[in-house]
């Protein structure tokens, strides 16, 4: 595949990631109102139900990400990406017509399975980009996903003001159209000679983690990603409920705030990350990027007004540089025929946080926002700050180990 073909293929993969994230972002602003209409429960109770919906999504992604990654190593990235995107569209239709809460849970379970295609999308970068360019292209994929949060929540808030189910129909349309376009445009990035046999012994969360543990640096970075993403669950899980309760934000305002975060993340990951990695290297980029997360979470926790939440968004967006830099460092240490397995391990690691995090964060929110005992709805963000401090300590130790190992090899 020529350089031009590689770039165009990766850009279309970024487009698929964009479409996927638009669909996810569309439903964020309307979920509290939809759950209220289905259950008649109050704000803190619907937040807890929302946490279990995220749990359902995450447990499926945790179980299926290694399988999807392993299948893409065996059969190629193209069929896996197109099939999962198509069925994701079907799943959104199911959620759009869900008559009760149980059907909504079924929809989230299916979404988790199809959403595991993230591993195949990221594997395309390792297939065609050089080791030095991977951080840049991982950043572009991250920026594409963040851009989906520009259009998704904003459009979801607008459509949700008309009908809370309308965003699900729009999400289905985006996914199905993306699958159809991809069928004609998307090129395969993994040639047959670089594919490996699929085995269920490796294509499961435990087997994948065992494989990654053979490379201690990769295992260390995966542990850091776990803590970093666990902290991020505070935003993903309680943002809509917290801002509705504290600042009386409606669907439009919630959508606008998430869209702003998406714009900034798209700029940081899609434009800034590659330049910073080239300037100071991936090690410093991931460490200094993570540092921005700490003041952001503290701002969210103690914000006296909605304006302070927007300030926290601006500060926190700079943390987006960390993840692509970590992906570059890991992909450099894994063989070419196991990149799907690596991305499956990353996706499973993130999924574990999506299993634990929503219940942890929404329960913390519910405990401190129910009007009984101490009232502090910002508690989940304070908890996230503590988790991020632990992640920074772990990252520092992992980077020191990498530096010592590099020095020994040089000697």
DSSP string, 137-204: HHHHHHHHHHHHHHHHHHHHHHHHTT-TTHHHHHHHHHHHHHHHHHHHHPPP-S-GGG-----TTTSS
Looking at residue 337, what is its pLDDT? Answer: 67
Residue 378 DSSP symbol: T
- 197 lies in some domain: no
Spatial distance between the Cα atoms of 294 and 315, rounded to a whole number of angstroms:
9
Render pLDDT for 229-258 as a digit per residue (tens, 0 to 9): 999 999 888 898 899 999 999 877 887 887
Cα-Cα-Cα-Cα dihedral of 374, 379, 29, 87, to 10°? -120
Spatial distance between the Cα atoms of 126 and 324, rounded to a whole number of angstroms:
12
Residues of the chain with pLDDT under 70: 1-6, 42-44, 116, 118, 149, 201-203, 206, 336-337, 405-411
Q: Buried (b) or exposed (e) across 364-383, using 16+ Cβ within 10 A?
A: bbbbbbeeeeeeebbbbbbb
- 309 lies in some domain: yes
Give the closest residue to 15 by CA, choosing from 175, 157, 188: 175
Looking at residue 70, what is its pLDDT? Answer: 81
Give the closest residue to 283 by CA, choosing from 217, 379, 214: 217
Spatial distance between the Cα atoms of 228 and 346, rounded to a whole number of angstroms:
12
- 411 lies in some domain: no
Report yes or no: 381 and 217 within 8 Å, Cβ to Cβ: no
Spatial distance between the Cα atoms of 164 and 33, rounded to a whole number of angstroms:
7
Looking at residue 285, what is its pLDDT? Answer: 94
Looking at residue 57, what is its pLDDT? Answer: 81
Query: For residue 330, what are the domain limits?
Result: 3-188+202-406
Residue 240 Rama label (left phi>0; alpha psi -120 to 50; beta):
alpha
Report yes or no: 368 and 376 within 8 Å, Cβ to Cβ: yes
Looking at residue 411, what is its pLDDT? Answer: 41
Number of structural domains the chain divides into: 1
Cα angle 250, 252, 254; round to 5: 70
Looking at residue 303, what is its pLDDT? Answer: 96
Render pLDDT for 133-164 as a digit per residue (tens, 0 to 9): 788 888 888 778 777 767 887 788 888 888 88
- 58 lies in some domain: yes
- 242 lies in some domain: yes
- 181 lies in some domain: yes
CATH number for the domain spanning 260: value is 1.20.1250.20
292 phi/psi in degrees, rounded to 5 = -65, -20
- 193 lies in some domain: no
- 195 lies in some domain: no
Residue 193 vs residues 68, 124, 156, 343: alpha-carbon distances, Å: 19, 15, 43, 20
Spatial distance between the Cα atoms of 12 and 26, rounded to a whole number of angstroms:
21
């Amino acid at each position: 595949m020529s350089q031009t073909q590689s770039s165009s293929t990766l850009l279309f993969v970024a487009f698929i990631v964009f479409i996927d994230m638009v669909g996810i972002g569309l439903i964020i602003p309307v979920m509290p109102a939809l759950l209220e209409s289905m259950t008649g429960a109050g704000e803190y109770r619907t937040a807890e139900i929302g946490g279990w919906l995220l749990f359902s999504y995450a447990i499926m992604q945790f179980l299926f990400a290694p399988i999807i990654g392993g299948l893409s190593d065996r059969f190629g990235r193209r069929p896996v990406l197109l099939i999962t995107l198509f069925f994701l569209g079907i799943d959104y239709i199911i959620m759009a017509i869900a008559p009760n809460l149980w059907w909504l849970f079924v929809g989230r379970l299916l979404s988790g399975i199809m959403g595991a295609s993230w591993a195949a999308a990221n594997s395309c970068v390792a297939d065609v980009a050089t080791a030095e360019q991977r951080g840049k292209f991982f950043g572009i994929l991250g920026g594409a996903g963040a851009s989906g949060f520009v259009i998704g929540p904003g459009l979801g808030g607008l459509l949700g003001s008309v009908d809370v189910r309308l965003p699900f129909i729009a999400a289905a349309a985006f996914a199905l159209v993306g699958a159809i376009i991809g069928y004609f445009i998307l090129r395969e990035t993994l040639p047959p000679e670089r594919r490996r046999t699929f085995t269920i012994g490796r294509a499961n969360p435990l087997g994948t983690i065992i494989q990654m543990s053979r490379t201690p640096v990769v295992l260390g970075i995966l542990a850091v990603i776990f803590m970093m993403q666990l902290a991020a669950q505070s935003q993903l899980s309680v943002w809509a409920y917290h801002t509705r309760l504290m600042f009386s934000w409606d669907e439009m305002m919630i959508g606008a705030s998430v869209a702003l975060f998406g714009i900034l993340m798209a700029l940081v990951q899609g434009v800034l990350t590659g330049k910073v990695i080239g300037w100071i290297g991936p090690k410093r980029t991931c460490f200094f990027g993570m540092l921005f997360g700490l003041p952001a979470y503290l701002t969210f926790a103690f914000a006296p007004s909605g304006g302070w939440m927007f300030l926290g968004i601006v500060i926190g967006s700079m943390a987006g540089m960390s993840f692509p830099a970590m992906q570059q460092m890991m992909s450099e240490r894994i063989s070419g025929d196991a990149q799907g397995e690596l991305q499956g391990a990353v996706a499973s690691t993130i999924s574990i946080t999506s299993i634990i995090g929503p219940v942890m964060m929404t329960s913390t929110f519910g405990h401190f926002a129910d009007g009984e005992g101490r009232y502090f709805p910002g508690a989940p963000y304070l908890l996230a700050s503590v988790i991020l401090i632990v992640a920074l300590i772990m990252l520092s130790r992992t980077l020191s180990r990498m530096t010592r190992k590099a020095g020994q090899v040089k000697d």
